Amino acid sequence: MSLDGLFKRTLYWTNDLLHGGKIWNIRKDIASVLSDSESGKKKQDEKLKELLDWATKNSAFYSAYAGKSLHEFPVVNKLILVENHDANSVPKEKIPWQEGDIFIQKTSGSTGVPFAVPQDTRKRQRRIGALKYFNDTVGFKSHEKLGQCRIWTKWHTKSKKQIFWENIYPVQVGNLDDSKMAELVETIKSKKLFALRAYASWYDFLLDYLKRGKCTKDDLKSLKVCLSISEGLNPATKEGMMELAGIPIVETYADEEAGTLAHQRLNGTNFYLNHADYVFECLKMDSDEPAEYGELGRIVLTDLYNYSFPMIRYDTGDTAIFHEGTKESNGWPYIEKLFGRKMDMVFDSNDQPVHPMNFGRTLKNFDTIRQWQFVQNDQYKYTIKLEVTDESQLEKVVSELKGILGEKADIGVELVNEIPLLTSGKRKPVVCEWKH
């Protein structure tokens, strides 16, 4: 820990205390709920009852469900909430704790459905409190120096004043050539960054830079933890960073619509859910019935604290395998395996789910591939679309994919000039056309 971080952290918490200690008390509340499922479940049930009562009285969209239990409410998705945005929005005048205007949290719209979620003052405070709580669990205390690695735009940036007082240093990762990586390493060294937060795939670039001898373990010695966001992390990258640099990478699970949903612990692979702020359900892939523990299902959440735009039984679009509570999870259910968006997930020839990041981690090793897209057409039929500089490695590509999918996999190769873009400007690398 640094004196600079201690000084700014002390100022922050003192200021919070002078304003009622709201963030401090939220952090304490989250810790209390998650520390014991028996007492925590009672608190969660109370907050759920309050939310459902509020929503049915103040949201036109939910007014028909007065007196219903949670499981009698409809499962909704992003498109449904977008179509019913006005009916579900609650005016700020009705929210007693609201300070100023309602905050509008915008998502990227990477699925082709942009989403603007109103969030009231208390909800925003809960997001901050949860972030600080989960960071604490991996040894990253508030206001230690953080490198925030993301694509920074003119609509989302930080002023010099914010950088100084928050100790958050923006790192642009739109381009990741060696010159950019050199700038990052120099920032880590000169600013003595304590932590990094970055897209999971970005750590592949950092590890490669380290492996090629472009930087050393000593260059990164100030880093104590790396936080991975947005994508599934390659286990080999996690292992490589620990082996070569002694730096643990912790995966986080969050979305822009709600906030921090789950978090790994140091040197662990399970995701521990934020039951203090949400009620989580794992529903079957083909119905709204509960999935069994150990069965692949859809993650559906109810946000207990957004009173300006209730999100009840919201299908996140993510899939996971839940595990029943254990001593390590303080009795709360947790995520044993987290997968990406359900539309992006495929299954091998033994009908087992395959994380889409598998393909990127394999195909990046073929220097003739410029672009690729993997498609599951049917149960055993797959297509790999490739833009290549030459055809010398095609047989090896198919062989490697069979190693992922099994020998029964029928893999066709389609050579293309370009992989089409989504409306967001991104390329969708993994597509499942098979209705599992």
* In contact, 308 and 285? CB cutoff 8 Å: no
Segment 380-405 mean pLDDT: 92
SS3 content of the chain, % helix, strand, coil (to 5): 35, 25, 40
The CATH number of the structural domain formed by 3-342 is 3.40.50.12780
Residue with tokens 């200690």: 21
Q: CA nearest 436: which of 391, 393, 370, 376?
A: 376
* In contact, 300 and 261? CB cutoff 8 Å: no
Q: How confident is the model at residue 161 (pLDDT cuts 50, 70, 90)?
A: confident
Work out the mean pLDDT of the chain and round it to a whole number: 88
Q: How confident is the model at residue 113 (pLDDT cuts 50, 70, 90)?
A: very low
30-75 pLDDT, tens digit each: 999 999 999 999 999 999 999 999 999 999 999 999 999 999 999 9
Structure token pair of residue 9: 């952290």
* pTM for the model: 0.78
Reduced 3-state DSSP string for the chain: CCHHHHHHHHHHHHHHHHCCCHHHHHHHHHHHHHHCHHHHHHHHHHHHHHHHHHHHHHCHHHHHHCCCCHHHCCCECHHHHHHCHHHHCCCHHHCCCCCCCCEEEECCCCCCCCCEEEECHHHHHHHHHHHHHHHHHCCCCCCCCEEEEECCECCECCCHHHHHHHCEEEEECCCCCHHHHHHHHHHHHHHCCCEEEEECCHHHHHHHHHHCCCCCHHHHCCCCEEEEECCCCCHHHHHHHHHHHCCCEEEEEEECCCEEEEECCCCCCCEEECCCCEEEEEECCCCCCECCCCCEEEEEEEECCCCCCCCCCEEEEEEEEEECCCCCCCCCCEEEEEEEEHHHCEECCCCCEECCHHHHHHHCCCCCEEEEEEEECCCCEEEEEEEECCCCCHHHHHHHHHHHHCCCCEEEEEECCCCCECCCCCECCEEECCCC
Q: Does residue 112 register a pLDDT over 70?
A: no
DSSP 142: T
- Residue 72's SS3 state is helix
From 211-215, 312-316, 361-365, 409-413, the region with the lowest mean pLDDT: 361-365
417-431 pLDDT, tens digit each: 877 755 433 457 788
Where do the structural domains in the chain lie, given as residue ranges?
3-342, 345-432
Length of the chain: 436
Q: How confident is the model at residue 174 (pLDDT cuts 50, 70, 90)?
A: low
Strand ranges (DSSP E) for 351-429? 353-354, 369-376, 381-388, 410-415
CATH number 3.30.300.30 is the correct assignment for the domain at 345-432: yes
What pLDDT is attached to residue 109? 43
Q: How confident is the model at residue 154 (pLDDT cuts 50, 70, 90)?
A: very low
List beta partners, residue 74.
Answer: none
67-105 pLDDT, tens digit each: 999 999 999 988 899 889 999 999 999 999 999 999 988
* In contact, 429 and 373? CB cutoff 8 Å: yes
345-432 has the same fold as 3-342:
no
Mutual angle of helices 22-35 and 3-18, in 10-degree steps: 100
